[in-house]
Amino acid sequence: MSDLKVAVIIPAAGQGTRFGGDKLGQDLGGRPLLLRTVELFTKRDEVSAIVVAAPRESIDDFRSRYGAQLGFHGVIIVAGGRTERWESVRNALAVVPNDCTHIAVHDAARPGANDALLTRIFDAARVAAAVVPGDPVSSTLKRVTVETFAAAPDEAVADAILGDAGRESVRGRRVESTVDRTRLMAIQTPQIFTADVIRRAYAQSDLAGATDDAMLVERLGENVLVVEGDPRNIKVTTTADLAIVRAILGHRAPDERPAHKRF
């Protein structure tokens, strides 16, 4: 028995707009991505309840696709918010059992989390009321214009390079400034909070603009502890991310597997 009694909320109600379709239903080594994510938590002693927020518009379809397997793990399914992630988390919070000491939130779209990361998060939750994993930003960051421009003909370049091939089609944004990346962290999930802190965070009147759960805790004026994340814990946002996650987890795409192993 663990001293922690954690309820895990898994927001899975997004539209996958940037992916261009149902990213959570994509094959990951013969199983849907969503189930891979849920199963990160089903074998942990600390976890006593799991709530998945499903797409409101297609919840019947969601239940028929995943209901049996989620039910087998005792997962509770609720309808999420149509557009905002925080609406999905808020709906899930409403059904979290009252005896949970802590509530963690983990994006369904992050199947690349692993046991070592979960252990770090749970250990930190024993000493801090709000914990998030972060990965130091290693890229140079620049703020750019909203608009794209056709690249303006630059005399020096034009003189040096003969021919007009492709020149007209070059478009890009203009750099406005370079952002100092010192102390900047890319924040991941799972994020974990005492049940009291996250309930107070979500009881605030204005939740708009929250892109993660810790932001709402920060608005309460509570401290948030950042612990070491994992660069492999990427959020599947585009099809390129799915290819990266498959490579990291060592799963081949269905069409790259021998036919008898595809299903």
The option from Mg ion, ligand CTP, none interacting with 107 (CB < 5 to 8 A, set by class) reads ligand CTP
Shortest distance in whole angstroms from residue 14 CB to Mg ion? 5
**Residue 262: Cβ within 10 Å count:** 13
- Binding positions for Mg ion, 12-41, rule CB under 5 A: 14
- Give the residue with the Cβ less far from ligand CTP, 108 or 128: 108
How do 175-179 and 141-144 pair as beta strands? Answer: antiparallel
Q: Where do we find the tokens 């996650």?
A: 245
The option from Mg ion, ligand CTP, none interacting with 190 (CB < 5 to 8 A, set by class) reads none
- Give the residue with the Cβ less far from ligand CTP, 4 or 52: 52
- What the block records as the tokens of 198 is 């996250």
The option from ligand CTP, Mg ion, none interacting with 254 (CB < 5 to 8 A, set by class) reads none
Shortest distance in whole angstroms from residue 179 CB to ligand CTP? 22
Phi, psi of 16 (to 5 degrees): 65, 40
Peptide bond before residue 231 is cis, with ω within 30 degrees of 0: no
Shortest distance in whole angstroms from residue 58 CB to ligand CTP? 12
Cβ within 8 Å of residue 110, ≥6 positions away: 37, 188, 189, 233, 234, 235, 236
Cβ within 8 Å of residue 68, ≥6 positions away: none
Cα–Cα distance for residue pair 232/212, rounded to 1 Å: 19
Residues interacting with ligand CTP, by CB under 6 A?
Answer: 11-19, 53, 80-81, 83-85, 87-88, 107-109, 235, 237
Shortest distance in whole angstroms from residue 18 CB to ligand CTP? 3
- Give the residue with the Cβ less far from Mg ion, 79 or 220: 79
Shortest distance in whole angstroms from residue 238 CB to ligand CTP? 8
Q: Which residues of the shown chain bind Mg ion in the complex (CB under 5 A)?
A: 14
